[in-house]
Amino acid sequence: MTGMTASSAPSLDPSADIVDLTAAIVDVESVSGNERALADAVEAALREHAPHLRVIRDGDTVIARTDRGLPQRVLLAGHLDTVPVAANLPSSRRVREGREELVGRGSCDMKGGVAVMLRLAVEMRTASRDLTWIFYDHEEVAAAQNSLTRLAAEHPEHLEADFAILGEPTSAGVEGGCKGTMKLEVTARGTAAHSGRDWVGDNAIHRLAPVMQRLAEYEARRAVIDGLEYREGLNAVAISGGIAGNVIPDRASLTLNYRFAPDTSVARAEAHVREVLAGLDLEIEVTDAAPGALPGLTTPAAQEFLAALGEGVPVSAKQGWTDVSRFSALGTPAVNFGPGDPLLAHTDDEHVPVADLQTALAGLRRFLAG
C-alpha cells in the first residue's frame, strides 16, 4: 500500500465548516486500493460524533444506520476512492471569476459529496426517515472490485431502502437514473504474410474497415423517459493488431463501448450491436456490461426529494453509468445528487465550487429533516 497510512490519517471533524471538512477529506489520499486511511478516519468520526448511528465496518466500507422503526428508509452512498493523483494534492483554494473553489483530486468526484454526507450523518439525529449511510471503496475500478458488488452478494440487507441518493457530482442538480454500458471486443481474422508479398496474405486490420465505416455512419438513439432525454452512443475506443512493420497481420481487434438508454436490457443492447455489425466476418465478444437505471422520479420519495430541493433545481438524465444501477437492480429507485461539475471528474484541474457544497448540504438537510 502506498500513500498515507491509517496511523497517519487525520481526525475528521464533521461539525467543521463544509469547505474545511471537504479539504480534510480530499487531503487523505485514497486512490483505489488505498482507501483504508480514509475509511478509518470516517469510521472514527462516526463512532465519536454520532452515537445515534449503528456503525458497521466491512473491509474498507463504512456503513452507518438508524433503526428507529420509521416507515421509510433512505440510503445515501458515496465512494471514498479516487483516480490516481496528478500533482493535485494537497488541496488548495482559489477565487476564479468571482467564484470560490476548492481544488484537488477527488474534490469533485466525489469527496465533496462524501463531506456533505458525513456532516449530515452526524447532524441528523431526528430525521423524518430511517437513514443508511454507505461510504464505500473501489468504485473507480472494475465492477467486480466495487464493494457494493460484495455487499449486494453477501449482505443485501445493508442496501435495502425505499429510496437512494448517490452523491456523484451533478452541480447540485438532480440527475435521474443512468445509462447502461457495454464493452465488446470485435476481432477480424486474416492470413499472415511478408508485407513484400502482401498478395499471399489477408490483412486483418483492413477487414476492420467496414466496422469503422458503420460506426462512423451510426445514428445514435435518443430516448425520452419520464421527460428526461438519454443520448445513446456506440463508439470504437481502442484498436490493436499487427506484430511488426513487415508482417501482414492475421488478427486485429476493436474495442467498442455502447452506452444505452435505461429502457434497454443488457441482452437487447448486445443484440443491437450484433445487428449493427451483421453480415461482417467478425468474432464479437462482450467483455463487460452493466444495465442502466430508470429515473424513478415519479415515486413518492423522489417527489418529496425534488420538492425539498425547490423548483429552481435542474433535473436531467444521467448520461454516464453510476452505482444507481445497483440500487435499481434491487428495486430501489435512486438518483444522483452531489456538488461538483461531472465534466471535471478525473481532470487534472478537478475542483468543486464552494457554492455547490453549500447548496447540496442545505438541500439534503431540508429533505432529511422533513
**φ, ψ dihedrals at 316, nearest 5°:** -145, 175
On whether the CB atoms of residues 150 and 322 are closer than 8 A, the answer is: no
Task: Compute the distance between CA of residue 338 and CA of residue 259 in angstroms, rounded to an integer.
Answer: 22
Residue 322 makes CB contacts below 8 A (sequence gap 6+) with 166, 168, 178, 293, 336
Residue 154 makes CB contacts below 8 A (sequence gap 6+) with none
Output the CA torsion sign for 157, 42, 60, 327: positive
- How many C-beta atoms surround the C-beta of residue 256 within 10 A? 23
Question: First and final CA of the chain: distance in angstroms?
Answer: 43
For residues 97-135, one letter each, b for 16 or more C-beta atoms within 10 angstroms of the residue's C-beta and e for the rest, the string is: eeeebbbbbbbbbbbbbbbbbbbbbbbbeebebbbbbbb
DSSP-based three-state secondary structure for 114: helix
DSSP-based three-state secondary structure for 199: helix
Task: Compute the distance between CA of residue 328 and CA of residue 177 in angstroms, rounded to an integer.
Answer: 8
Q: How far is CA 280 from the centre of its chain?
A: 34
What cell was used for 208?
476492420
Active site residues: 81, 139
DSSP-based three-state secondary structure for 31: strand
DSSP-based three-state secondary structure for 370: coil
Task: Compute the distance between CA of residue 22 and CA of residue 18 in angstroms, rounded to an integer.
Answer: 6
On whether the CB atoms of residues 147 and 61 are closer than 8 A, the answer is: yes
